[in-house]
Structure 1
């Protein structure tokens, strides 16, 4: 074999060196003496100023008024670019329904609306004025997990969507001044005979037995119908006609009226004055809700109050342990705000803050309501704890009858109270009139 010549070997060596040099041309080497310049952080643009309006019933003498305002202040402190107009009316003022309906139908809707669920909201829900919250809840698992499932479920509308995010729920019952009963050797009115005896005894001594107005007879209507007709019939409203058991409820109202149960000025007072009669010790009983405690001016009345279910009226099919309650209201996000790019995120953030477990706990402590979040409530008066126990031990908890019928129909039921107890109309005629209004409203 011939050996390669020196010339050939030299050429191969030079060629290999050339390849090696070419192979290294893509390698980038940093000069160790050079330090890469750090990128300057981008300046965060200031957030746009946002003005939001929140309408609610946390006004007037509402016991959670200050706690609600404090929650708004917490949010605006953390978000100084957001200004919140806290627009409120008292829930005892029937005009707040008119204001909501007018605002929602005239293009003057608030950004967040705290209002009833159910029939009261059906009009603006059907009109697309508010946003379904299902997707927004699902997108924030932590926020959604903070609620008790039953609270969210209780505000679901007929179309299956959740529009109202609950804050606190409520219970209603018969508030009783235990001291007045004990001083007059009376048993608590756990059945109808005891109720009649108490009414007769107190009326004879000049003590108002049952503080209730005729015009704003919301709680009277709710309890007498539930007691007389039971949960199933009460839940149907007047959809299947007038249940004869409803007549028994109105007849029982008249029976107590004839025994002197109501204030002498029941035809002219409102719910606020009725609460004042009980809260100052002038009345032995009142039908009210969990929010009522803050309105009782006399500390002794608060200390001596307990809450029990309303007894079954004569011939009624209720159990005697059915109560009114639930989560019948919540915060709505209006469609106009959702579609407004400048407001949407701030409004959702505010809603989440107002319905956070921390805020819900503070509101529940203030108004004695059932919290919609998984929080512990402490420091409440014994009467409030009695109310929670009543709800926990009840056979059924039912939404008020006005959530099952049109507002105009409920107004007719309320108006029928005075007409029936004073003998101007029979229970059947009063209910027939309400049914006619309900049918006309559905046309």
Structure 2
């Protein structure tokens, strides 16, 4: 009997516990069905304000990275549907883009983000406070800042010690050479001055353009001939310490090659785009250009046979023939007016961060062959000429900014005009440089 009683008692206890549990569950379910108070309801986010931003850059015309640049903007807009972005572009080969930038920046029509040169070209609107220093913005976004190659950021630092432009890709310049044309004419590659002169003389007599270059838009001719003659130190000093005698040697060497038939017959009337076309079509054996140029060349017989060399040193100068022009000479500026606009500020900074993200930098770099401003970017998909360019930049003992970064724009215009005057014998190198020096001095007063 005791055993039966114990079993019965145990069953009653279990049944009681079951009823208690059911009661609590019912109580919980009833509570969950009660309507929530206003304070308990999840708050809906207010819709983001519509924002319209304008970006100005030189990723237009036939620029090799034009499509990659537009794709990056489209990607940002798709992820931020409240933001509309106007992609305002011009070609870098059109000198009018400088006029447009200066006009916009001085008339209150500055773009929200401006992709433009650093150095002398930007000094005016930097001094006028039209753009903001990026130092605090970079520090406030440590992960973004850490993604850059430190050298890239340092290259964009202005005279006052601040960074105003965030770089995208860097560049290198040099002598692009069609190896097949040289081989077909039993010529050695122009690795020194005598080989360059021999190539110019031989090719000119055969009706092949030795060196595709215009006289007016002679940016690359000027900086490379002066770098060859004056070396990095003399080149980089500009006209600040007087006229370096080696600059005269550089201009004199232009005439020496001109007399050998180096330049196109229509060099006085063509622009950089036409000069590039001569090379791209296999009509010219050499061209002095930058890393961005090869992306626009489509002819396999040209692009597959192109390499890039440092411009050779000329006799009597102090250059080594290994120095190059390059660096990170441009970047994105953020307008002060945009930064002070509460409705635009955050969207503009986010767009800036997106356009200079590692992913975008990699795509732009592969498109235009430029040096990535971001650390750890893979360049395995680059063309052979781009890889030759990366090696050129890595092996250079010094990398100089172009002369138009270290002298006033008006001074450089005089230097440009002097190329045709010197090679045709209308002016001496000394006369052209004296005029440039006077303009530079007047500009600093």
Same fold (TM over 0.5): yes
**How far, CA to CA, are the matches of 2:296 and 2:64 in structure 1?**
8
Match of 1:101 in 2: 102
333-342 or 286-295: bigger deviation = 286-295
> Matched residue of 1:114: which SS?
strand
Of residues 154-163 and 374-383 in structure 1, the stretch that sits farther from structure 2 once superposed is 374-383
Cross-structure match for 2:20: none
Instruction: Give the corresponding residue for 1:416.
Output: 418
The equivalent residue for 2:257 is: 256
> Where do 1:244-393 residues align within 5 Å?
244-374=245-375, 375-393=377-395
- 1:442 positional shift: 1.2
RMSD: 1.2
Aligned partner of 1:74 in structure 2 is 75
Distance 2:31 2:287 in 1: 85
Counterparts of 1:6-405 in structure 2 under 5 Å?
37=36, 39-374=40-375, 375-405=377-407
Instruction: Determine if contact 1:248/1:314 at 8 Å carries over to the other structure.
Output: no
Count of residues paired in the alignment: 413
**C-alpha separation between the residues in 1 aligned to 2:367 and 2:383?**
11
Which residue number corresponds to residue 6 of structure 2? none
2:436 to 427, 434, 437: 434
Distance in 1, matches of 2:67 and 2:297, equals: 17
Quote how far apart the aligned CAs of 1:386 are. 0.7
In structure 2, how many angstroms separate the alpha carbons of the residues matched to 1:328 and 1:158? 14
Q: Which residue of 2 aligns with 1:406?
A: 408
Instruction: Mark the runs of 5 or more structure 1 residues left unpaired by the alignment.
Output: 1-30
Show CA shifts across 1:352-372 (max 9, x none).
Answer: 000000000000000000000
Structure 2: runs of 5+ lacking an equivalent: 1-26
Deviations 1:239-293 (A, max 9, x none): 1111111000000000000000000000000000100111111110000000011
What's the CA shift string for 1:208-265, capped at 9, x where partnerless? 0000000000100010011111111111110111111100000000000000000000
Distance 1:321 1:255 in 2: 21
Greater CA radius of gyration, 1 or 2?
1
1:379 CA drift (Å): 1.4
Secondary structure of 1:341's counterpart equals coil
- Whole-angstrom distance in 1 between the partners of 2:148 and 2:349: 16
Deviation (angstroms), 1:295? 2.4
SS of equivalent to 1:238 = coil
Distance 1:226 1:157 in 2: 22
2-structure distance, mates of 1:334, 1:34: 56
- Aligned equivalents of 2:230 and 2:190: distance in 1? 19
> Deviation digits for residues 138-172 of structure 1, max 9, x if unmatched?
11111001100000000000000000000000000
State the shift of 1:34 in Å. Answer: 5.7
